Amino acid sequence: MPDRIEKFTYSNSQPERLDKFLTANLPEFSRARLQGLIADGFVRVNQIPAKKSGQMLEAGDEIETRIPPPVPSGIIPQEIPLDIIFENDDLIIVNKPAGMVVHPAAGHANGTLVNAVLGYDPEMEGIGGEERPGLVHRLDKDTSGLIALAKNERAHRWLQDQFRLRSVNKIYWALVDGKPPTPAGRVEAPIGRDPSHRKKMAITPPHKGRESVSEYRTLKSFKAHTLLEFHPLTGRTHQIRLHCAFLGCPIVGDLIYGRKKSTLEISRHFLHAAKLSIVLPGENQPRQFEASLPEELRRVLDTLE
């Protein structure tokens, strides 16, 4: 794939930083990505390599930006069946099954969602970064449900901005042991690394963790369990699992943050990303996508009823 060449003429009367100008004219790329292109010599001003990102442009300057194709990730595409909820030219929304890791990592070199997506659409390789092509958010291995992946740089930037501005609306269903203090409420409990177990997260004092906010409401009450709907307003690692434990009602089957032995017959924790509301690239109003509760979780509810 050849390099993409973009040429501009600076016409404003007031000087402006080179990186700011490029960010406005190439909105599909982050400012950091464009600063990297400048630093690597891919941007010329009046046919001379730009010296720095803060170089000031003046009226009449000719800017040429050479954008190399995405770097191959080295991730092996695999033909793994995908439950595709929605797809267009910009993104794909998948209903991820429990047990599937989202992207390759130590101990999970293949069989991941990214391997499957690259097997389905090899052109997504390198989008948004070579290690995690197309990803803008994640789900835990044993959490099922909706996850969106970008199919091009413009869509990746668009989705990143929505998650950064917290305009994406995500709804999860969680079956918990016991019940929360109130039928509905809001949890504000900072999250950071567990100082004793570096692979775990923990509720921390405010100055040691990142702001973490969730809202919840009760969907159904059982004798010793409660089905909750969670709306995370932030996107911290293991946020809902930790907030449920913080409320004194850990998620059923969560052997890390909940009880050491599950109170019900289940092979995973009972957490499902059920709804995702997002504005698609080029549109103004959000669309809502839904994924039904998986069969193994429906069976658990049937036993309670």
Burial of 304 (0-12, 13-18, 19+ CB in 10 A): middle
Single-letter amino acid code for the residue at 22: L
Q: Are residues 152 and 218 in the same domain?
A: no
Given the structure tokens 């039904």, which residue do they identify?
292
Per-residue model confidence (pLDDT) at position 98: 96
Q: Are residues 256 and 182 in the same domain?
A: yes
Q: Are residues 305 and 175 in the same domain?
A: yes
> Tell me, what CATH number does 132's domain have?
3.30.2350.10
Q: Are residues 193 and 208 in the same domain?
A: yes
Say whether pLDDT at 36 is over 70. Answer: yes
User: How far apart (Å, rounded) are the C-alpha atoms in residues 127 and 155?
Assistant: 9
- Can you give the residue range of the structural domain that contains 54? 4-67
Query: According to DSSP H, which parts of 103-174 are helical?
Result: 113-120, 153-164
Beta bridge partners of 189: none
Taking a C-beta distance cutoff of 8 angstroms, is the pair 62, 45 a contact?
yes
Of 116, 149, 165, the residue at which a domain comes to its end is 165
Phi, psi dihedral angles at 282 (to 5 degrees)? 85, -5
pTM: 0.77
142 included as an active-site residue = no
Instruction: Report which of residues 103 and 259 the model is more confident about.
Output: 259
- What single string gives the DSSP state of each residue in 221-260? E-SSEEEEEEEESS--TTHHHHHHHHTT-PBTT-TTTS-S
Q: Are residues 12 and 32 in the same domain?
A: yes
Per-residue model confidence (pLDDT) at position 39: 87
Q: What is the per-residue pLDDT across 198-232, written as a single tens digit (0 to 9) for each?
A: 778 999 988 888 999 999 999 999 999 999 999 99
User: What radius of gyration do the chain's Cα atoms show?
Assistant: 23
Say whether pLDDT at 184 is over 90. Answer: yes
Segment 15-32 mean pLDDT: 86
Per-residue model confidence (pLDDT) at position 156: 85
The fraction of the chain above a pLDDT of 90, given in percent, is 63
Segment 35-56 mean pLDDT: 90
When the pLDDT of each residue in the chain is averaged and rounded to a whole number, the result is 90
Q: Are residues 33 and 45 in the same domain?
A: yes
User: How far apart (Å, rounded) are the C-alpha atoms in residues 269 and 174?
Assistant: 9
Q: Are residues 190 and 154 in the same domain?
A: no
**Which tokens go with 99?**
């047990």
Of 112, 146, 165, the residue at which a domain comes to its end is 165
- Domains held by the chain: number: 3
In the structure, what pLDDT confidence band is assigned to residue 32 with cuts at 50, 70 and 90? confident
Taking a C-beta distance cutoff of 8 angstroms, is the pair 217, 228 a contact?
yes
Instruction: Report which of residues 272 and 104 the model is more confident about.
Output: 272
Q: Are residues 111 and 171 in the same domain?
A: no
Segment 261-274 mean pLDDT: 96
Q: Are residues 185 and 285 in the same domain?
A: yes
Given the structure tokens 């999970």, which residue do they identify?
108
> Tell me, what CATH number does 56's domain have?
3.10.290.10
Phi, psi dihedral angles at 65 (to 5 degrees)? -115, 125
In the structure, what pLDDT confidence band is assigned to residue 51 with cuts at 50, 70 and 90? confident
Of 165, 187, 221, the residue at which a domain comes to its end is 165
Q: Are residues 125 and 139 in the same domain?
A: yes
Q: What is the per-residue pLDDT across 69-90, written as a single tens digit (0 to 9) for each?
A: 765 556 788 899 999 999 999 9
Q: What is the per-residue pLDDT across 119-158, written as a single tens digit (0 to 9) for each?
A: 998 887 667 655 567 888 889 999 999 999 998 888 888 8
Per-residue model confidence (pLDDT) at position 94: 96
Q: Are residues 222 and 291 in the same domain?
A: yes
Candidates 19, 61, 140, 142; catalytic one: 140
Q: Are residues 128 and 59 in the same domain?
A: no
